């Protein structure tokens, strides 16, 4: 696992100290890491679920930002300023509401719906609307970041005048917006089909429908803007680097779950997991609809301390909804009403095949109903995610716990399979813990 970009992994202690010193010298307060996501369906796809469930989807561009920035930023439904189908005019009309939702940094991607046949905006109209919306963000003291326009094909392919507008809009975003002080990223070279670049057609294997990216295309796109967020936010996500148990009096920021460094080998393996090898102490492993799939467990040192719990995947899951779940129950005695909790982990994967997702989540039973908050949840049955190699932190959406109605809370690491597709590759989970957010 040495072939990943050093700039995107969590910082080690000496680097972290240097970063904090640099921030102190800069003399400015830290930015709010809870960013605002502005745009159309391509941005809205990052966040799903019906409250109190909230899922960060691995086919959504912004959902990969925490992974690729060392966890420096987080996303959430409260600042999802994105609506499917919206044009630049509709985004502009709602910009004051988006700004009121808060956040210091706004991540923008929109204007493609201006090109749809029912809209067919003139190029000048799109430019004026976009510039006005970004100017509103700047005037409100926000820092805008723009992902320049992306290729589109299939039933969404453009031709004639609207294609020329689409291409011109991207070029204008790349040249004009930096003059305004807007940071711009360009994912076009990653996504366009080299055999059809003259038609601005995308690589179809990177898209759900040749307009919206999938779990392979989304991580490619976000890498075009991740460096801007790394530049703005100096401090990476806090991950467990030593075992510091929660204590209401003396250590309220301690870990609600035990063994966050995944040491030991006395974990419990359910027969449904079809697993061999060592499992970290305090954790249990089970499979759901996992028939036909297998896993060989192993442990090796994590770069942040403690161990990785490793999973070498094999076999072929024969049922829909196949999952392999490593979990631990969170003691309700350590949680009081109104507490905000989250789970975090360092995740790494490589050579994936037939894997729909690698997710960290918190599962809770409230009023007899099961809900989740999930990081990098899979898109849909049979839709694979990026093969890797990748390494980065995951952080679940924040959960406001209520032990008066929550009868069970679990922290989980989940690997999703695809029915009747051989499942292969290596997944590593390290530095996994659940914590109160104070």
Q: pLDDT value at position 3?
A: 37
Distance CA 327, CA 285 (A): 7
Structure tokens at 2: 């040495």
Distances 323 to 119, 134, 169, 273, 313 between C-alpha atoms, Å? 42, 42, 42, 9, 12
Distance CA 206, CA 211 (A): 10
Q: pLDDT value at position 18?
A: 53
Q: What is the mean pLDDT of the chain?
A: 93
Mean pLDDT computed over 292-303: 97
| Res. 421: pLDDT tops 90 | yes
231: how many CB neighbours lie within 10 A of its CB?
A: 11
Q: pLDDT value at position 164?
A: 96
Domains of the chain: 6-232 (3.40.50.1110), 266-436 (2.60.120.260)
**HEC letters along 249-310:** CCECCCECCCCCCCCCCEEEECHHHCEECCEEEEEEEEEECCCCEEEEEEEEECCCCCEEEE
Structure tokens at 21: 């010193």
Say which residue the tokens 């075992």 belong to: 243
Mean pLDDT computed over 265-284: 98
pTM value?
Answer: 0.91
Mean pLDDT computed over 413-430: 98
Q: What are the pLDDT digits (tens) for 366-397?
A: 999 999 999 999 999 999 999 999 999 999 99
Q: What are the pLDDT digits (tens) for 36-82?
A: 999 999 999 999 999 999 999 999 999 999 999 999 999 999 999 99
Distance CA 13, CA 34 (A): 23
Q: pLDDT value at position 338?
A: 93
- Beta-bridged to residue 349, according to DSSP, are 390, 427
Q: What are the pLDDT digits (tens) for 146-176?
A: 999 999 999 999 999 999 999 999 999 999 9
Q: Where are the beta strands (DSSP E) in 330-395?
A: 340-353, 355-366, 369-377, 390-395
Q: What are the pLDDT digits (tens) for 108-153?
A: 999 999 999 999 999 999 999 999 999 999 999 999 999 999 999 9
Q: pLDDT value at position 11?
A: 43
Q: pLDDT value at position 28?
A: 65
pLDDT band at 198 (very low <50, low <70, confident <90, very high): confident
Are 88 and 110 spatial neighbours (Cβ–Cβ below 8 Å)?
Answer: yes
Mapping DSSP to helix (H, G, I), strand (E, B) and coil, where does residue 18 land? helix
């Amino acid at each position: 696992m040495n072939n990943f970009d050093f700039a995107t992994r969590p910082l080690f202690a000496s680097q972290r100290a240097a970063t904090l010193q640099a921030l102190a010298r800069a003399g400015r307060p830290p930015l709010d890491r809870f960013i605002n996501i502005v745009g159309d369906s391509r941005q809205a796809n990052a966040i799903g679920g019906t409250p109190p469930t909230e899922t960060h989807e691995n086919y959504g561009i912004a959902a990969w930002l925490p992974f690729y920035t060392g966890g420096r930023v987080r996303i959430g439904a409260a600042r999802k300023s994105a609506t499917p189908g919206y044009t630049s005019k509709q985004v502009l009309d709602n910009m004051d509401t988006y700004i009121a939702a808060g956040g210091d940094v706004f991540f923008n991607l929109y204007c493609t719906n201006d090109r749809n046949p029912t809209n067919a905006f003139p190029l000048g109209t799109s430019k004026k609307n976009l510039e006005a919306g970004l100017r509103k963000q700047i005037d409100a003291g926000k820092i805008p970041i723009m992902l320049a326009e992306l290729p589109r094909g299939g039933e969404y392919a453009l031709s004639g005048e609207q294609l020329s507008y689409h291409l011109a809009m991207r070029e204008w975003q790349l040249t004009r917006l930096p003059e305004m002080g807007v940071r711009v990223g360009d994912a076009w070279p990653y996504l366009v089909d080299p055999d059809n670049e003259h038609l601005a057609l995308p690589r179809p294997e990177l898209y759900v429908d040749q307009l919206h990216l999938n779990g392979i295309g989304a991580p490619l796109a976000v890498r075009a803007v991740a460096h801007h967020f790394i530049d703005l936010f100096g401090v990476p996500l806090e991950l467990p680097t030593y075992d510091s148990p929660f204590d209401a009096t003396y250590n309220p920021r301690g870990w609600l779950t035990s063994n966050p460094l995944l040491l030991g080998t006395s974990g419990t393996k359910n027969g449904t997991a079809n697993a061999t090898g060592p499992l970290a102490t305090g954790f249990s492993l089970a499979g759901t609809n996992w028939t036909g799939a297998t896993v060989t467990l192993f442990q090796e040192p994590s770069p942040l301390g403690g161990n990785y719990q490793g999973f070498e995947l094999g076999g072929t899951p024969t049922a829909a909804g196949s999952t392999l779940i490593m979990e631990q129950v969170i003691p309700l005695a350590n949680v009081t009403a109104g507490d905000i909790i989250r789970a975090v982990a360092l995740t790494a994967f490589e050579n994936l095949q037939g894997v729909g997702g690698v997710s960290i989540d918190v599962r809770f039973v409230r009023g007899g109903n099961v809900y989740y908050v999930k990081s990098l949840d899979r898109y849909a049955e049979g839709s694979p995610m990026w093969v890797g190699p990748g390494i980065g932190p995951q952080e679940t959406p924040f959960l406001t716990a209520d032990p008066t109605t929550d009868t069970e809370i679990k922290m989980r690491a989940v690997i999703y399979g695809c029915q009747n597709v051989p499942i292969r590759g290596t997944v590593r989970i390290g530095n996994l813990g659940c914590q109160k957010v104070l």
